[in-house]
Amino acid sequence: MKFTIQRDRLVQSVQDVMKAVTSRTTIPILTGIKIAATAEGVTLTGSDSDISIESFIPKEVAGDEIVEIRQTGAIVLQAKFFSEIVKKLPTDTVEIEVLGSLQTVIRSGKSEFNLNGLDAEEYPHLPQIEENNKFHIATDLLKAMIRQTHFAVSTSETRPILTGVNWKIENEELTCIATDSHRLALRKAKIETENHENYNVVIPGKSLNELSKIIDDSHELIDIVITENQILFKAKHLLFFSRLLEGNYPDTSRLIPNESKTEVTVNTKEFLQAIDRASLLAREGRNNVVKLSTFDEGTIEISSNTPEIGKVVEEIQSQSIDGEELKISFSAKYMMDALKAFEGTDIKVSFTGAMRPFVIRPLHDETILQLILPVRTY
Amino acid sequence: MKFTIQRDRLVQSVQDVMKAVTSRTTIPILTGIKIAATAEGVTLTGSDSDISIESFIPKEVAGDEIVEIRQTGAIVLQAKFFSEIVKKLPTDTVEIEVLGSLQTVIRSGKSEFNLNGLDAEEYPHLPQIEENNKFHIATDLLKAMIRQTHFAVSTSETRPILTGVNWKIENEELTCIATDSHRLALRKAKIETENHENYNVVIPGKSLNELSKIIDDSHELIDIVITENQILFKAKHLLFFSRLLEGNYPDTSRLIPNESKTEVTVNTKEFLQAIDRASLLAREGRNNVVKLSTFDEGTIEISSNTPEIGKVVEEIQSQSIDGEELKISFSAKYMMDALKAFEGTDIKVSFTGAMRPFVIRPLHDETILQLILPVRTY
């Protein structure tokens, strides 16, 4: 293998595939990045066996030569060193050449690295996925859907299925649901499918988090292919594979209350900042719980009391409070996570009494909701 | 105590005095910030008993009212909570009031905090320093002198005196020296003194590091007062006290060679980047050592070899190489630390053989030098 490549392109691709590489792997070759040069360009691959990322650098983009292939071939280089090296090379182009016995030379200006490579033949093959059942979604919408749900997955391995996000596709609509059994995040969107098939899968929260770090905020469509145990995201020059979680995701639809006894409409940012301050003293304690009380004339009070440190009272003016008077306690962290998922200015919080889950929605938008279970404090 | 204060000013002062506060203290009251209101304004104090910082907020600056004092007094509030609270308060002004039994109310807009305070009478008094023997130095010069020396202090407590920077004042010249016995950094500057007295003290490296984080890059003079066991830096509205280290600092003057056998003149940035790359593979290993070899026609080679990972060869073109041919090995980290201390474009490295300390100086500047002991590798 021997080729010359534009350094910036190489650095970007290496950074992308590095998202899948971990040093905590039991398969030594996965600490490396696979580099393969064909007549078409250079492909980099990184994998931790749960997630695999493949980034392709074409020979030419819009008449601009990116890679000059002298000899095709493949090698695996230690990801940690290779990524550091390419970042720090002195000139705009890099030459990479595999000599005999896996020795790989990286040249740039008057800098020459000689790395011990690993045999690319021993690198695991990426899953073969038949692309019959594709659907499409705009990249920025996908990113938003991940951001608005993945934070609510469980971090505990007690029920492994809850560490994933449930993706359901029915009637050309994608619904993403995450819950750790104390709160739930749900986001829906219309998508384009090729064959109206239905799916119900669970994607590891960590995979979606890494994916959202790589994809950009563009309107370009990303292709998604689901198989029995894998999901593949196909963007331009980028393949992102994740395994799916095995098992049945709980039916969460009956958790969401249909009625409410108190409805509060409030500015998202003011509400978020008041809760942030009200929880400042409570964070130290065991619970990080704040109390919300409604008063006449649309006044809401958020408070917390940590006797050894002090207490906080925050008052905010809501747009409206309808229904019964209410006192309720909940986790400030869950509330802040939920509020950060909303993009609009105003939200409606629907309560069904102090002991029942409550639901937060934007004012005129049915595609997103956040549900939180209250905490019993009195 | 009761006063209203501009939030931005309070936040800035709290951040400054926080630099001295640590949660790892055996004196509980030092986890707090002392707040004292007098007719002139508000004084904040933070201390870890090694370093103490006092920040004064005057009642009025250039006709602009900063603080409105309603009632003088003092209180100590938990630094961790107080600093978080003032940062997040909703409006531009903050009211702080001490009620009975040390209860302190912080009000801002519709936000009200009630903190359990501590008795300001129990807060340790700052050292009383007689200001007979002051000298002055421009703030930005002081900052540069700290930056160019403090990194070379020892991090090991084997010889505690080496964890400090030696400050000598003789003939209206300040010399700062730091060494960990493997390398040495020296910086000199002319200063203004009031009474031509000489000093020889050792200031903890940590104190100087914290000081340089607080002071700005201005040309304004900073006053310095040295006593038997304390040093005081006086900037506008800021007092910074540090204890001095006890003991005699070794005489380092005879470490610095007067002659040299090989002199290399080279561009600082090119040299630094080549050493950075050459050490990329060596960092993992036990030593992080690179080898420098001189060749004909001004060529310098920097190389390292870590058999299990690979090797690097970097070639740079020097302005000149005078004297004997040389092969020498040294710590890449020490060399990079030293090179980062130089502001100019070119440096001269003076070697006295492969086993002797070598000295790095800017081309036309006698006020700074860095010395490094080589590593024996062959």
Query: Per residue in A136-162, pLDDT tens?
Result: 999 999 999 999 999 999 999 999 999
Backbone angles phi, psi at A264, to 5 degrees: -120, 130
B91, B122, B153 — which closes off a domain? B122
Q: Give the three-state DSSP class for B278.
A: helix
Nearest by Cα to B220 from B147, B144, B145, B137: B137
Write out the two tokens for A184.
């739930």
- Tokens 């202090």 belong to B153
pLDDT surpassing 80 at residue B158:
yes
Tell me the C-alpha distance between B194 and A310, whole Å.
50
In a domain, A27, yes or no: yes
Host domain of residue B99: 2-122
Q: Do A55 and A238 touch, CB atoms closer than 8 A?
A: yes
Q: A327-331 and A346-351: which strand pairing?
A: unpaired
CA-atom Rg of chain B in angstroms: 25
Q: Taking CB atoms and an 8 Å cut-off, how many pairs form between chains A and B? A: 86
Is the model more confident about B128 or about A271?
A271
Dihedral angle at the C-alpha atoms of B190, B194, B199, B205, nearest 10 degrees?
A: -70
CB-based contact (8 Å) between A190 and chain B?
no
How close does chain B come to A304, measured CA to CA in Å? 10
Amino acid at B127: P
pLDDT digits (tens, 9 = 90+) for A18-47: 999 988 888 999 999 999 999 999 999 999
Written as one string, the DSSP assignment of B98-129 is E-GGGEEEEEETTEEEEEE-B-GGGSPPPPP-
Strand order in the sheet with A67-71: A67-71, A2-6, A93-98, A103-108, A111-116, B310-317, B299-306, B289-294, B327-331
| Predicted pLDDT at A82 | 97
Write out the two tokens for A126.
């990426």
Based on the domain organization, do A247 and A320 belong to the same domain? no
Three-point CA angle B307, B309, B313, nearest 5°: 75
Nearest by Cα to A83 from A43, A33, A42: A33
CB-based contact (8 Å) between A277 and chain B?
yes
Q: Give the three-state DSSP class for A116.
A: strand
pLDDT digits (tens, 9 = 90+) for A104-116: 999 999 999 999 9
Based on the domain organization, do A144 and A106 belong to the same domain? no
pLDDT surpassing 60 at residue B283:
yes
Based on the domain organization, do A164 and A265 belong to the same domain? no
Q: What is the mean pLDDT of chain A?
A: 94
Based on the domain organization, do A111 and A150 belong to the same domain? no
B71, B98, B122 — which closes off a domain? B122
Write out the two tokens for A161.
């299925």
**Type and span of the H or E element at A27:** none
In a domain, B141, yes or no: yes
The CATH number of residue B292's host domain is: 3.70.10.10
CB-based contact (8 Å) between A311 and chain B?
yes
The CATH number of residue A178's host domain is: 3.10.150.10
| Predicted pLDDT at B147 | 97
B253, B280, B309 — which closes off a domain? B253
Residue B160 half-sphere exposure toward CB, CA atoms < 13 A: 5
Q: What is the mean pLDDT of residues B231-242?
A: 96
- Tokens 């407590």 belong to B157
**Nearest residue, CB atoms, B277 vs list A111, A114, A311:** A111
Is the model more confident about B282 or about B88?
B88
Q: Do A351 and A260 touch, CB atoms closer than 8 A?
A: yes
Q: What is the mean pLDDT of residues B185-208?
A: 92
Based on the domain organization, do A164 and A261 belong to the same domain? no
Based on the domain organization, do B27 and B102 belong to the same domain? yes
pLDDT digits (tens, 9 = 90+) for B294-311: 998 999 999 999 988 999
pLDDT surpassing 60 at residue A335:
yes
- A110–B316 CB contact, under 8 Å: yes
Based on the domain organization, do A81 and A141 belong to the same domain? no
**Nearest residue, CB atoms, B114 vs list A84, A310, A314:** A310
User: Which CA distances in Å does B256 have to A194, B128, B179, B292, B361?
Assistant: 77, 39, 12, 21, 12
Tell me the C-alpha distance between B264 and A287, whole Å.
63
Check residue B248 and report its DSSP letter.
Answer: P
**Nearest residue, CB atoms, A312 vs list B113, B277, B313:** B113
Based on the domain organization, do B193 and B279 belong to the same domain? no
Amino acid at B107: R
| Predicted pLDDT at B131 | 77
pLDDT surpassing 80 at residue A240:
yes
Which of B89, B98, B111, B315 has the highest number of chain A CBs within 10 A, making it the mutation to test binding with A?
A: B111
In a domain, B128, yes or no: no
Backbone angles phi, psi at A23, to 5 degrees: -85, -15
| Predicted pLDDT at B285 | 62
> What is the torsional sign of CA B350, B352, B353, B358?
negative
User: Which CA distances in Å does B116 have to A12, B32, B53, B297, B355?
Assistant: 52, 11, 23, 73, 62
pLDDT digits (tens, 9 = 90+) for B310-366: 999 999 999 999 999 999 999 999 999 999 999 878 999 999 999 999 999 999 889
| Predicted pLDDT at B345 | 85
Based on the domain organization, do A192 and A279 belong to the same domain? no
- Chain A neighbours among B 107-126 (CB < 8 Å)? 110-116
pLDDT surpassing 90 at residue B26:
no
In a domain, A129, yes or no: no
What is the share, in percent, of chain A residues with pLDDT greater than 90?
85
CB-based contact (8 Å) between B314 and chain A?
yes
Write out the two tokens for B66.
């900063």
| Predicted pLDDT at A276 | 96
pLDDT surpassing 60 at residue A378:
no
Based on the domain organization, do B224 and B289 belong to the same domain? no
Alpha-helical (H) ranges within B138-179 are 139-147
What is the share, in percent, of chain B residues with pLDDT greater than 90?
85
Most confident of A99-103, B62-66, B110-114: B110-114
pLDDT surpassing 70 at residue B139:
yes
In a domain, B127, yes or no: no
Q: Do B324 and B264 touch, CB atoms closer than 8 A?
A: no
pLDDT surpassing 70 at residue B286:
no
Based on the domain organization, do A9 and A62 belong to the same domain? yes
In a domain, A74, yes or no: yes
Per the structure, how many domains does chain A have?
3
Written as one string, the DSSP assignment of B296-351 is GGGEEEEEEEETTTEEEEEEEE-SEEEES--EEEEEHHHHHHHHHT--SSEEEEEE
| Predicted pLDDT at A285 | 63
| Predicted pLDDT at A286 | 59
- A315–B110 CB contact, under 8 Å: yes
pLDDT digits (tens, 9 = 90+) for A296-331: 899 999 999 998 899 999 999 999 999 999 999 999
In a domain, A377, yes or no: no
In a domain, B50, yes or no: yes
B236 burial type by CB count under 10 A (0-12 exposed, 13-18 middle, 19+ buried): exposed
Based on the domain organization, do A150 and A72 belong to the same domain? no
pLDDT band at A73 (very low <50, low <70, confident <90, very high): very high
Q: What is the mean pLDDT of residues A52-63?
A: 95
A41 burial type by CB count under 10 A (0-12 exposed, 13-18 middle, 19+ buried): buried
pLDDT band at A132 (very low <50, low <70, confident <90, very high): confident
| Predicted pLDDT at B378 | 54
Tell me the C-alpha distance between A183 and A337, whole Å.
10
Sort out which chain B residues have CB atoms less than 8 A from A98's CB and list them: none
